[in-house]
Amino acid sequence: MLSESLNLEIWDRLLASKSLDGLGLDTRDGRIDARGLELPEPTVLRRFQFHGAAITATDASIVHGVKWRNLDFTGSKLAGLRLMHGFVENCRFDDCNLQGVRIWATSFRDVSFKGANLRGSVLGGVHEAVRNTFVGVDFSDSDLSASTYEAAAFEHCVFSNAKLVKIDFQTSTFADCRFEGELDDVLFYRRAFNGEKYPPNEMVNVDFSRARRKHVGFRGLVLDRVQLPNDDEHLVLKNFAVTLDQMLAALQRQSDPIAEKLAAFIGIKRKWAVLNQAQGFIHLPDLADLVGGEGVKRFLAAIPPGMRVEA
C-alpha cells in the first residue's frame, strides 16, 4: 500500500508528466507499479444553498497535456479525474474506480480498462473539434453504463462482457472492434445530430456475432462490414430497407390490431434504415414484448422469400 506522502509525490509527477524514477517503485510486466494510487480529494472552497439545494464548490480542475506511458494503475481510486489533450500509452487501469471521469481530446493506445468502473463517465468529450481516440483498448468486464459521448474514435477495441447500458454513442466511430455479452438500450449512429464536423461512423469490421442485444439501434448505418448475431433471439434480414418497405406495405393492407402494431414497429425500424443498407436485425424478444407470440409468427410469415439470413 502506498504511503500518503508517496501517493502525493506520484501525483505531483504524473500531473507534470515527469518521470517516476527514484521513487523505489517496482515494475510489473514492463510497467511501473502504481497500483492502489488514490486521486487526492479536491479542496472544498465553499458550501452554499441554491434554490434549497446544497452546493459544494471545489478546486477540482482539468489536467492538460499529460503524457503517461508504461504505468500500472490496477485497483487505483481515480474517480472524478479530468484530462484534456493528453496521451496515455501501454497503461493498465484494471479494476480501477474511474466513475465520473471527464476526458477530452486525449489519446489512449494499448490500454486496458478490464473490470474498471467507468459508470457515468464522459469518454466522448470533444475540445476544439478534437475527439478522444481509443486504439487497442480493452474494456472487457468494465462498467460503461450511462457513459456519455459527443464523438470518439474506437479502433481495435474489445468490449467483452462490458456493461453497456443506456449509452448513446452519438457520432463515435468504430473500426475493427469486438462486442461480446449483453448490450441494453444502446444507440449507434452514422452521424448524430450536429455530427457533421466529425468523420462518419462507417462501422468497419465490427463484430457483434457473440453479442446479446436488447433495444439496440443502428441509425443511418449500412452495416455491410458488420458481423451481426444470428441465433434464436436475433433475426438478420438482407436488403434491410427494401425488405421492411415490402413488409410494411403488406401489413398496412390489414386492419387488425396485431397488424397495426407490427406496422408501427416496422415503421420505426424503417425510419432509421438507409436505402442501401445491406443487412439489419430484429431482436425477437423485443418484438414479442410488443405483439406477443402470435405477432412474431405473423412477422415471420410476412418476410419476403430469400430475405432472411438463415442460421
Amino acid letter for position 272: W
Predicted structure pTM score: 0.87
187: cell is 444507440
Which pLDDT does position 57 carry in this prediction? 34
75: cell is 485497483
Cα atoms in the Cβ-side hemisphere of radius 13 Å centred on 3:
6
Q: How far apart are CA 60 and CA 17, in angstroms?
A: 18
Q: Please, what is the Cα angle at 88 between 87 and 92, to 5 degrees?
A: 175
Which pLDDT does position 41 carry in this prediction? 64
Which pLDDT does position 58 carry in this prediction? 36
Which pLDDT does position 228 carry in this prediction? 86
209 phi/psi in degrees, rounded to 5 = -60, -25
pLDDT tens for 140-164 read 999 999 999 999 999 999 999 999 9
Which pLDDT does position 207 carry in this prediction? 97
Which pLDDT does position 214 carry in this prediction? 80
CATH topology for 4-229 is Pectate Lyase C-like (2.160.20)
Rg (CA), the chain: 23
Longest dimension (CA), the chain: 78
From first to last of the 311 residues of the chain, give the pLDDT tens digit. Answer: 789 999 999 999 998 899 999 999 999 999 999 999 998 764 433 444 544 554 433 345 688 999 999 999 999 999 989 999 999 999 999 999 999 999 999 999 999 999 999 999 999 999 999 999 999 999 999 999 999 999 999 999 999 999 999 999 999 999 999 999 999 999 999 999 888 999 999 999 999 999 987 888 899 999 889 998 878 888 899 999 999 999 999 998 988 999 999 999 999 999 999 988 888 889 899 899 999 999 999 999 999 999 988 76
Which pLDDT does position 234 carry in this prediction? 86
Which pLDDT does position 59 carry in this prediction? 42
Which residues partner with 168 through β-bridges? Answer: 187
CB 77 within 8 A of CB 59: no
Q: How far apart are CA 202 and CA 200, in angstroms?
A: 6
Domain ranges of the chain: 4-229, 232-311
DSSP helix/strand/coil, 67: strand
In order of 186, 252, 262, 298, the CA distances from 256 in angstroms are 32, 10, 10, 12
Q: In sequence order, what DSSP letters do the residues of 166-195 get, joined into one string?
A: EEE-TT-EEES-EEEEEEEEEEEESS-TT-
Which pLDDT does position 60 carry in this prediction? 52
Q: How far is CA 164 from the centre of its chain?
A: 7
Which pLDDT does position 46 carry in this prediction? 44
Amino acid letter for position 108: F
